[in-house]
């Protein structure tokens, strides 16, 4: 956790290229070359969806992992951003959609998502623990029912279809390969920004607020303002994820941001692990694999296909039961048990995540 050791020995002589661990390069090459050996379905449906859900979950991980605030409204914020893109930009519902160019519609959608996230945060930071979950769940369900019943702005039950990404640089961004790189780019950008901010003064102070809010106030920090600012940043991430999600399915409707999806985002973050920004992406990958292939596996076993939620629920139970830190926690435990000296029982120095 040494965030400010810019003078740490051995680092000053290396360039930043050398400082990035080798496995990062390995993962980067694997991800960039993925379209060479993966089919369209894998690129668009598995990885595209993983990156999108990962980004939305990452916004929850940022709040919960660094700020200690579990918000169930992140999918709602994502959904709002998706709706705003549909309303300000183009969709098949041209009586409502304004048809404004993407460079107006997208920033406006993100701005509204951030404003909404800030208001959610401003309401939620008055509460703690279970009450934060309850208040954000209340906001999520209110949004779901409001969009379902409001036909003037949100087009009610059916929502918007035909919401497509702009044809920027002459590329069809919904083509599987292009969409894969589009979502990969934003996933990497979101991941890097969270890693960077976690060690910047803002992120460090947020972790201080999480661990001891009273002490932070006694060090001169406005704890409430810090928490609300964290919600605003998390809303930006969720908004980006929400727009990509809308483009992927080409539509947005109340069910996209319903209570089920809101809880799924929490499940993804917890399965992956809340301790590190890579957790939500691991959780999203497992969720997407289960959601996509569990039906086939269940059918081949002679069970009803709808039972895939049961598998996700069981997986969630097992992970929470064995490792409150998600799969990342299991991995950490495995590594520290391998590095433990069998004679003394001492740890041989497991690397910090």
Partner 1 sequence: MNVPVSNMTRISGNGVGNALELRGVGKSFGALAALADINMVVKPGERRAVLGSNGAGKTTLFNCITGDFLATAGTIRFFGEDISAFPAYERIRRGLRRTYQISLLFTALSVLDNVYLACNGVSRGRFSFRRPQRNDAVTESAETLVNMVHLDSVRNTLVSDLSYGQQRQLEIAMALSGAPRFILFDEPAAGLSPAERRELIDILTNLPGHVGYIIIEHDMDVALRVSDSVTMMHNGRIFKEGKPAEIEDDPEVQALYLGGENHG
350 forms part of the interface with partner 1 (CB under 8 A): no
Binding flag, residue 6, partner 1 (CB under 8 A) = yes
Angle between the N-to-C axes of helices 176-198 and 49-61, in degrees from 0 to 180, rounded to the nearest 10: 20
Considering the rule CB under 8 A, would residue 197 count as an interface residue with partner 1?
A: yes
The stretch among 3-11, 41-49, 148-156, 284-292 that binds partner 1 (CB under 8 A) is: 3-11
Residues 223-282 that bind partner 1 (CB under 8 A): 223, 225-226, 229
Q: Which of 23, 214, 346, 351 binds partner 1 (CB under 8 A)?
A: 214
Contacts of 319-327 with CB under 8 Å at 24 or more apart are 319/270, 319/271, 320/270, 325/273, 325/274, 325/275, 326/269, 326/270, 326/271, 326/272, 326/273, 326/274, 326/275, 326/279, 326/282, 326/283, 327/271, 327/272, 327/273, 327/279, 327/282, 327/283, 327/286
Q: Taking CB under 8 A as the rule, does residue 215 contact partner 1? A: yes
- Cα–Cα distance for residue pair 51/201, rounded to 1 Å: 27
Q: Which of 205, 236, 265, 327 binds partner 1 (CB under 8 A)?
A: 205
Interaction between residue 303 and partner 1 (CB under 8 A): no
Among 142, 200, 314, 317, interactor with partner 1 by CB under 8 A: 200
> Minimal distance in Å, beta carbon 229 to partner 1?
6
Which listed residue (42, 204, 263, 303) binds partner 1 by CB under 8 A?
A: 204
Q: Please choose, out of 48-56, 61-69, 220-228, 327-335, the segment that lies near partner 1 by the rule CB under 8 A.
A: 220-228
Query: Smallest distance, Å, CB 147 to partner 1?
Result: 32
CB 106 within 8 A of CB 243: yes
Structure token digits, residue 85: 């893109």
Binding-site size, partner 1 (CB under 8 A): 33
Rounded to a whole number of angstroms, the minimum distance from the CB of residue 215 to partner 1 is 4
Q: Which is nearer to partner 1, 203 or 258 (CB)?
A: 203
How far apart are alpha carbons 244 and 52 in whole angstroms? 6
How many helices and strands (H and E) does the chain possess?
A: 17, 2
* 208 binding partner 1? (CB under 8 A): yes
Four-CA torsion 333, 266, 119, 235, nearest 10 degrees:
70
> In angstroms, rounded to a whole number, what is the distance separating the alpha carbons of residues 226 and 218?
14
Q: Which residues are within 8 A (CB) of 16 and not within 5 positions of it... i.e. 6 or more apart?
A: none
Q: Is 186 helix (H, G, I), strand (E, B) or coil?
A: helix
Work out which of 107, 129, 162, 201 binds partner 1, going by CB under 8 A. Answer: 201
CA 242 remoteness from chain centre:
10
How would you classify the pairing of strands 251-252 and 160-161?
A: antiparallel
Among 222, 309, 339, 347, which residue sits at the site for partner 1 (rule: CB under 8 A)? 222
In the complex, least distance from residue 248 CB atom to partner 1, rounded to whole angstroms: 29
> Rule CB under 8 A: is residue 3 a binding residue for partner 1?
yes
Nearer Cβ to partner 1 (3/339): 3
Q: Is the dihedral of CA 332, 286, 66, 31 positive or negative?
A: positive
Identify which range of 67-75, 183-191, 218-226, 319-327 contacts partner 1 by CB under 8 A. 218-226
- Rounded distance, CA 128 to CA 240, Å? 27
Where along the sequence are the contacts to partner 1 (CB under 8 A)? 1-8, 196-197, 199-202, 204-205, 207-208, 211-212, 214-223, 225-226, 229
């Amino acid at each position: 956790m040494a965030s400010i050791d810019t003078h740490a020995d051995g680092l000053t002589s290396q360039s930043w290229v050398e400082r990035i661990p080798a496995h990062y390069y390995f993962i980067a090459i694997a991800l960039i070359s993925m379209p060479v050996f993966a089919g369209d379905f894998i690129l668009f449906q598995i990885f595209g969806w993983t990156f999108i859900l990962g980004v939305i979950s990452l916004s929850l991980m940022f709040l919960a992992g660094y700020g200690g605030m579990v918000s169930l409204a992140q999918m709602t914020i994502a959904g709002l951003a998706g709706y705003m893109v549909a309303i300000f930009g183009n969709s098949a519902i041209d009586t409502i959609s304004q048809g404004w160019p993407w460079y107006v519609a997208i920033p406006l959608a993100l701005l509204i998502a951030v404003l909404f996230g800030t208001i959610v945060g401003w309401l939620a930071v008055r509460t703690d623990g279970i009450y934060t979950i309850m208040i954000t769940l209340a906001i999520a369900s209110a949004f779901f029912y409001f969009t379902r019943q409001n036909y003037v702005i949100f087009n009610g039950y059916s929502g918007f279809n035909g919401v497509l990404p702009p044809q920027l640089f002459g590329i069809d961004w919904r083509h599987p390969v292009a969409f894969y790189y589009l979502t990969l780019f934003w996933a990497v950008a979101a991941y890097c920004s969270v890693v960077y901010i976690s060690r910047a003064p803002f992120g460090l102070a947020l972790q201080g607020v999480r661990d001891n809010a009273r002490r932070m106030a006694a060090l001169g920090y406005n704890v409430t303002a810090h928490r609300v600012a964290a919600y605003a940043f998390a809303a930006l991430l969720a908004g980006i994820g929400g727009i990509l999600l809308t483009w992927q399915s080409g539509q947005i409707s109340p069910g996209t941001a319903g209570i089920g999806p809101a809880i799924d985002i929490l499940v993804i973050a917890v399965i992956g692990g809340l301790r590190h920004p890579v957790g939500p992406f691991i959780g999203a990958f497992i969720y997407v694999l289960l959601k996509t292939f569990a039906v086939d596996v269940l059918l081949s076993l002679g069970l009803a296909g709808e039972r895939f939620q049961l598998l996700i629920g069981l997986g969630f139970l097992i992970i929470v039961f064995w490792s409150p830190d998600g799969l990342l926690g299991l991995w950490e435990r495995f590594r520290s048990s391998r590095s433990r000296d069998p004679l003394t029982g001492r740890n041989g120095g497991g690397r910090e995540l």
